[in-house]
Amino acid sequence: MAEIGKTRLDSGWLAARSTDVQLSGTQLTTTHPPSGPTSPWMNAVVPGTVLATLVKNKVVPDPFYGMENETIIDIADSGRQNYTFWFFTTFQSKLSGNQHLDLNFRGINYSAEVYLNGHKRVLPKGMFRRHSLDVTDILHPDGQNLLAVLVHPPDHPGRIPPKGGQGGDHEIGKDVATQYVEGWDWIAPIRDRNTGIWDEVSISITGPVKVIDPHLVSSFFDNYKRVYLHATIELENKSSWVAQCSLNIQVSTELEGNICLVEHLVTQHVSIPAGSRVQYTFPQLFFYKPNLWWPNGMGKQSLYNVQITVDVKGYGKSDAWSHLFGFRKIESHVDSATGGRLFKVNGQPIFIRGGNWILSDGLLRLSKKRYKTDIKFHADMNLNMIRCWGGGLAERPEFYHYCDIYGLLVWQEFWITGDVDGRGEPKSNPNGPLDHDLFLLCARDTVKLLRNHPSLALWVGGNEQVPPDDINAALKKDLRLHPDFENPNEMSKPSEDLLPAFKDPSQYLDGTRVYIQGSMWDGFANGKGDFTDGPYEIQNPENFFKNDFYNYGFNPEVGSVGMPVADTIRATMPPEGWKIPLFRKVSGGYTEEVPNPIWEYHKYIPYSKPQKFVPDQIQLYGTPEDLDDFCLKAQLANYIQYRALLEGWTSHMWSKFTGVLIWKTQNPWTGLRGQFYDHLLDQTAGFYGCRCAAEPVHVQLNLATYFIEVVNTTSEELSNIAIEVSVWDLDGTCPYYKVFEKLSAPPKKTLPIVEMKYPKSKNPKPVYFLLLKLYHMSDYGILSRNFYWLHLSGGDYKLLEPYKSKKIPLKITSKVFIEGSTYEIEMHVQNTSKKADCRTLTYLNKFMARQGNGDFDMASVEPVHSGTDEKPEISILQRIYRCLTKENDGLRVAEVNGTDVGVAFFLQFSVHAVKKDPKKGEDTRILPVHYSDNYFSLVPGEAMPIKITFEVPPGVTPRVTLRGWNYHNRHTVL
C-alpha cells in the first residue's frame, strides 16, 4: 500500500516548444516519451515559466541584464505559438486497495492539456485557480507514469506600445492573469507573459475519503482570555459504498526542546454517502488564555499546529491535513479623527508602516528559500504590513507562511488595476476581464487557499480601481463578515449563547476579514478613489514632516528613489551601463540628471526634482567622480530619504495618520527605483534608514521643527527614561551635549520632548553629526539610537568630501559560529580614535532586547502546505536559538589603523567569497546576508554590536569586508 500524503513533482521536467515537437500528447505519454534533454527538449523550470526555462538553458539571454530583454522576441510579434510549450516528466506510484491518486496543479498560466499515460484531460483557463484531477483509473499497473502538459499562453497577451506605459496596451486585462507582464514604470515587459506551470505540481494519495479545504476560525471573549477554535471541512467519498468515518482534530503547540503539548484531541463520527461530498463542522474547541499571534513589533508570533485526520472503518487512515494557525483577531474601521483606516490586532491599535509588494521574481522563479529571505528582510526593517498589489500575484502559501512566522500583516488584492481596467493611454476596458464568472471562480479559490493564515489581514478589490459592479457585488457578498466580526467592540458572551441563526464562522467563505473595494476607498487615500496616493519622487527630507505633505489619513502608496550599490550595477549591466548620469544645470540653479540609456531602460528615477524645488540629493555631497562615488552618495541619500519618510509619518501618528505603505520595498527585476534591496538581494542604505525609523520605540528629530520626539508604538508606558543628545563636528569634538532625564512616554503616542537648539547656538558648524540615544535610567540599556548628519538651513554636505581623508581607527572583535553552511558572526566594532567621553555612560550601546523582534534563527522552519501534506521533516515550530549546537570558530580581532579623531562615518559590511584570482569587476558577494545594522556611524569612543548571518555555497570560504566614508578600500576584517 502506498503511503498516504503528498509528493511534489518539482524536478526532472523537460520542456520543448510545441511547434518543434511532431508528436501528440498521447504518443509522448505512451510510445515516444522524450529520453532526456536532447533537441528539441531541454531541462525545464517547474514550477516556473517558459521564459525562465529558456533563460536557464541559454536559449535566450538574461532579460534582467543590461538591455538584453530587447533582444528577446515578444509574444505580440512571435505569436502565441512561440511560447506554447510542452512540459514532460515521469513519476512512480503504485496504488493498492481503495487508494486514490490526485494530480494537482496549484497554478497554470493560462490553460493546458494534460496527458497521463495516453489519456487526455483539459485544464480550463485562469491563472489563479487550482486544478485537481483524480487519475486513479489511468495509472500504469507497474507504477511508472508518463505525464505531458501542453501549456497555452494567455488569450490576450497584448502588444507593447512604442512608449511602453502601465500595462502596455492593456489587453492582458481581458484575462484573469498578472497585469504587470506588459510592462510598467518599474519593469520591462515579460516576453512570454508568464506562460507556464508557474506554481506547485504534486500528486496526493488518499484512501476512499479525501479532506478538502478546511477552514479554521478563532473567536474571542472576556478580553481575549477565552478563545474558541472553529473548523469546517469538506469530505469527499470516492468509493462506491457508504464510508463510516472517524474525524480527528488535534491542536498542539511546541514547548522548549522540541516537546509538543497537545491542547486538544477530539474525535467525531460521520457517515458519507457513496460518491458524494459533504461539509462537516467540528464542535468548537475551547482555549483559556492561549498564546496569541501578534504582528511584528507588537509581540510574539505564537502558532499552533492544527492536524485533521480521517479514518475510514474497514480501511484505516484515509487522509490528513495540517496547518499552522495563529489565534488573533484583526479589526479595522475608518477613524473619525483622521479619516484613515485604523487597524486593531487583538484589541490593540497598530500604526501601519509597511510596503508595497509586486512579486518575488518577474519570471516567477519562486522558492521557499527566497520567500524566507524576502519576508525576513521586511521584518528586519521593522515593517508590519505588506500590500500585495493588484497587478501582481495572489501570493502563494509559502509567502504567507513566512509572513505568519515573521509577523507581517498582508493586504491581498485581486487582479484589477486602474491602468488596465478603466484608464490609461490607450484607454483601457473598465469592465475588467471578459469572463466575470472565471474571475470570481479564481477569487473564491484563492480565498480558500489562503484564508487560514493569521497574517492575512484584508481583501481589496483592486489597485486604484473598483472591480466591475457585478464582480464587486459578488465579492462583497462572498466576503461579508460573520456577525462575530462585524462589531468593532468585542462581544462579551460566548458563542454558544448566540442566536441559532448565526452560522458557525468557519462555514463562511471567509467571514473574518474586511473586504475593501479598492486601494483608495474606504479609509485609504481620500476614501473616494481619487488620485491621492504618491508622490513617487525624491523629496526634501523635511517635507515629510510638514502638515501639508499629505492630506489624508492612510497613504497606500508613497515612493522615492532606490539606487543599488555599485557592485549590483556591474553585475547586472555591461560597462556602458556603468556611466553615471550627466548633471545639467536648469533654471533656478537646480540640477537635472541625464542617465545613460541602460539606466533609463531600467527605470532609473533621479535624485533631483527641479519642478518641485528639490536640489539634487547626490550633488549635495559634491559632484560624484565615478560609479562607486555616485552609488555611495546615493546610499547616503537613500538612508536620509526613507528614514525621513517614515519618521515624518510617525511624527503625526494618530493625530493625522493611521498608516503608510511605501511604494515599493522590493524589486522583481533589476530596476533602479523604489526598492530597499535589489533583485540580487543586497540591501540599499534605505533598508537601514527604514529599520531605524520604524522601531517600535524610537527617538527622532523632527526635521521641520527640530524638536526631539519619542515614539512609543507599544501598549506599555515607558517610564524613567532619558535622552542623550550629542553633536559632533568634523574635527571630532563635541560642541553640544545635553541629557534629558526622568522622562516618560505614554503608549501609542509620539511625544515632542525638547527643541534641539544647536543650529541656533553661537557659531554652529555648517555640517555636523547628531547622535540621539533613548535609554533606561536604571541600567543605561539603549531603547533607541539614531544618528544624523545635518547641515544648516540652505547649506549642503560638501564639507564631508574632504572629511573622507580622515583616518579614523577602528577595532573589530568577532566571534564566529558555524553550523553546516550557516555562519553567524557576532561583532563588536569600536571607534578607538579616543576614549569614550566621560560624560556619557551609553557609549557601549547595550541594546535592550524586545519581545518578538524576529532576530532568532528560523532556518529550521519550513512551510506547511494546505491540502494533503507530507509529514514535516523537522519540528515545524522550532525557534530554539542554535548557538548551543554551533561550532565556535574562535575570537578574532582586526584593527583599522588611523591617527585622526572623529566620527567613523557610514560604515558598511559586506560578505565575499575568497577567490585566488578573481576577474576584474567580478561580483564576489555572498548574498543574501542578514545584518543587525549596516551603513552605521560611530562617534569617538563609541562601540556597536553587529550580528551577521548568512549561508555559504559548498566549497566556498567567506570573508567579511568593511568600507565606509573614511574607508575607501575594502578592509578585510574577518
Rounded to 10 degrees, the C-alpha dihedral 234/238/241/242 comes to -10
From CA 437, how far away is CA 164, in angstroms rounded?
A: 30
From CA 591, how far away is CA 593, in angstroms rounded?
A: 7
The amino acid sitting at 538 is I
The amino acid sitting at 498 is L
Q: Is 398 an annotated catalytic residue? A: no
Beta-strand pair 554-559/718-728: unpaired
Q: Report how far apart, in Å, the C-alpha atoms of 201 and of each of 47, 214, 273, 843 are.
A: 7, 20, 30, 55
**DSSP 3-state assignment of 145?**
strand
- Per the CB < 8 A criterion, the answer to whether 865 and 855 are in contact is no
Q: How many CB atoms lie within 10 A of CB 837?
A: 16
Residue 704 falls in which region: left (phi positive, over 0), alpha (psi -120 to 50) or beta: alpha
Grid look-up 526634482 returns 609
Residues, the chain: 974
**Catalytic residue from among 236, 557, 593, 695:** 557
**Residue 610, preceding bond cis, omega within 30 degrees?**
no
- Per-residue burial over 402-414, b if 16 or more Cβ lie within 10 Å, else e, is bbbbbbbbbbbbb
Nearest to 3 by CA among 139, 135, 96, 103: 96
From CA 945, how far away is CA 871, in angstroms rounded?
A: 40
Query: Order of strands across the sheet with 348-350?
Result: 330-334, 341-345, 348-350
- Per the CB < 8 A criterion, the answer to whether 947 and 827 are in contact is yes
- 725-726-730 Cα angle (round to 5): 155
**Catalytic residue from among 254, 395, 464, 593:** 464
Helix intervals (H) in 696-822: 800-803
From CA 734, how far away is CA 753, in angstroms rounded?
A: 21
Q: Is 873 an annotated catalytic residue? A: no
- Per the CB < 8 A criterion, the answer to whether 385 and 698 are in contact is no
Rounded to 10 degrees, the C-alpha dihedral 469/475/481/482 comes to 120
Name the β-bridge partners of 701.
708
The three grid cell numbers given for residue 51, joined into one nine-digit string: 521564459
**DSSP 3-state assignment of 225?**
coil
Give 184's contacts (C-beta < 8 A, 6+ positions apart). Answer: 166, 167, 391, 419
From CA 229, how far away is CA 902, in angstroms rounded?
A: 59
Here the contacts of 575-580 (C-beta below 8 Å, separation 24 or greater) are 577/66, 578/627, 579/627, 580/624, 580/626, 580/627, 580/630
From CA 123, how far away is CA 132, in angstroms rounded?
A: 9
Nearest to 563 by CA among 622, 621, 623, 642: 642
From CA 137, how far away is CA 133, in angstroms rounded?
A: 11
The three grid cell numbers given for residue 927, joined into one nine-digit string: 548574498
- Per-residue burial over 506-536, b if 16 or more Cβ lie within 10 Å, else e, is bebebbbbbbbbbbbbbbbbbbebeebbebb
Give 955's contacts (C-beta < 8 A, 6+ positions apart). Answer: none
Residues recognised as catalytic: 464, 557
